[in-house]
Structure 1
Amino acid sequence: MDLDEAEDWAWCDAQFAAVEAYVKAQNIPHGVICDWPEWYTAPYVGLWAVEDPADPGFVGHWVLAGDTTGVQPQPVPFDFLSAEDCAEPREALAAFAHKWAALAAAALKGTAWTGSPLVHGDLAQSAAQLARQAQLLKLWAEDDEMWEQD
């Protein structure tokens, strides 16, 4: 699905509101929530930086936010990670991929997870979906062309 520039902007604006609400609902310590994703592929998923309130100007957490428009039949779930071990967006995307792959593998063995990411419905189906999404995040994180500086 290709969006034109106006649709792209509108999607990111809508996502920002959802990210802001998610950060507050999850009680993630924060200063400024960046108003534009550090990385995204609209209308599917975006990676958002959340400022560390104890260290203004630096990322404290990363939020991975799936589409909130209701268009996607299997949207990427919202999740967050501390930026302590992943200061750069590419590292954060790889960390989400690793976390989700591990959660999916455990769930496929019958171990349910609690907390983030929030998933609903059948555990095996959710695990399979999360595993597919983890593979895609991993591919994106490994794609050097996606991370080239302009």
Structure 2
Amino acid sequence: MDMDEAEDWAWCDSQFVAIESYVKTQQIPHGVICDWPEWYTAPYVGLWAVENPDDPGFVGHWILAGDSTGVQPQPVPFDHLSASDLPEPRDAMAAFARKWTALAAAANKGTAWSGSPELTGELAVKAKQLSRQAQLLTLWAADDELWDLD
């Protein structure tokens, strides 16, 4: 889906509202929630930085957030990770991929997870969706062209 610049901005703005709600609902300790994703591909997913309240100016958590508009049939779920060992957005993307791969593998063996990421449906369906999305995150994390390498 090709979006023009205005649609891109509108999507990111609408996502920011959803990020604020997610951070509050998940009770993620935070300072400033960055008002623009560190990385995104609209209208599918964005990776957002949330400031560490104990260390202002530094990322405390990464939020991976799929489309919150309801347009996508199987949106990427919202999830979060501590940034303590993940200083760069690309590191966070790879960590989400590893986490989701492990959750999907366990789910394929009948082990359900609770909490984030939250998906609806039967365990086998959730495992399949999470596995596919983890593969996509892995590809994105590995693609040098998607990351600013200064």
The question of a shared fold, defined as TM-score above 0.5 by the shorter chain, is answered with yes
**What SS does structure 2 have at the residue aligned with 1:137?**
helix
How many residue pairs were aligned? Answer: 150
- For residues 33-44 of structure 1, the aligned pairs below 5 Å read 33-44=33-44
In structure 2, the partner of 1:45 is: 45
Query: What is the aligned partner in structure 2 of residue 29 from structure 1?
Result: 29
Aligned mates of 2:106, 2:22 — CA distance in 1? 25
CA deviation profile, 1:9-58 (whole Å, cap 9, x unmatched): 00000000000000000000000000000000000000000000000000
Deviating runs (4+, > 3 A) in structure 1?
none
Structure 1 unaligned regions, length at least 5: none
Alignment of 1:114-133 (within 5 A): 114-133=114-133
Percent of aligned pairs sharing the same letter:
77
Consecutive unaligned residues in structure 2, runs of 5 or more: none
1:3 is displaced (CA, Å) by 0.4
Q: TM-score, normalised by structure 2?
A: 0.98
1:145, 1:39 → 2: CA distance?
12
Alignment of 1:1-150 (within 5 A): 1-149=1-149
* TM superposition shift of 1:85: 1.1
For 2:147, the aligned partner's letter is W
Q: Aligned letter for 1:114?
A: S
- Normalising by structure 1, what TM-score? 0.98
Report deviation, 1:149: 4.2
CA RMSD of the aligned region, Å?
0.8
> What letter corresponds to residue 12 of structure 2 in structure 1?
C
Q: Give the drift of 1:145.
A: 1.0
